[in-house]
Amino acid sequence: MLFTEEHKGLAKEGEKWLKNTASSCMMVSTLITTVMFAAIFTVPGGNNNNNGYPIFMHTTSFKVFALSDAIGLFSSVVSILMFLSILTSRYAQEDFLVSLPKRLSVGIATLFFSIITMLIAFGATFFIVLGHQLAWIFIPTTLVACIPAILFAFLQFPLLVDTISCTYGAGVFAR
């Protein structure tokens, strides 16, 4: 009881930080979900007017696009659900030890994974549309498109590592 009483302020600050982080990440996840959902219905190259199937359906780059788009969609939905579960949590003292950090870890990991798969889908689409005729544009543009994933990794990876190590490792007790 003494510990709980002495750390009420810290729990409130932790709750506020967690809610802000979860809502920001959830917004990004929602945007990625929207883009990935729309991309699967507006396939690169369009559809064949005779049968309705995508024109480039049998190419490897289209298969890469379809697979990465589907995986990106599902991982961003998982990310949304994890961040939503953080926002609707009861924020009890025991939740801060395992439950909330676990949800945050899964949410950030799946968000990062959805960003990577979104960029793979972008690269595959870009290759389908321009890769054969303008290969000299494809490579630099795809490399520049990787900058957001690298930036996100540098900015959020330390948080993910700290959260995982404190949740599953020795954490603060080893210090």
4, containing H or E segment: helix 2-6
Which position has the higher pLDDT, 135 or 110?
110
Task: Tell me whether residue 75 is in a domain.
Answer: yes
* Residue 44 CA, distance from chain mean position: 23
Tens digit of each residue's pLDDT (9 = 90 or more) over 122-151: 888 888 888 777 777 878 888 888 888 888
Task: Tell me whether residue 175 is in a domain.
Answer: no
Task: Tell me whether residue 81 is in a domain.
Answer: yes
Tell me which of 68-77, 107-116, 127-136 is least confident: 127-136
Task: Tell me whether residue 57 is in a domain.
Answer: yes
Question: Is residue 36 scored above 90 in pLDDT?
Answer: yes
Q: Which own/partner pairs from 66-69 qualify as long-range (CB within 8 Å, at least 24 positions apart)?
A: 66/40, 68/117, 68/118, 68/120, 68/121, 68/124, 69/36, 69/39, 69/40, 69/117, 69/118, 69/121
Question: Is residue 168 scored above 60 in pLDDT?
Answer: yes
Task: Tell me whether residue 31 is in a domain.
Answer: yes
pLDDT of the residue at 9: 75
pLDDT of the residue at 4: 62
pLDDT of the residue at 172: 52
Task: Tell me whether residue 66 is in a domain.
Answer: yes
Query: Could you tell me which residues are beta bridge partners of residue 54?
Result: 47
Mean pLDDT across 67-76 = 96
Task: Tell me whether residue 174 is in a domain.
Answer: no
Residue with tokens 């959260």: 163
Domain count, the chain: 1
Range of the domain at 57: 2-169
pLDDT > 70 fraction of the chain, expressed in percent and rounded: 91
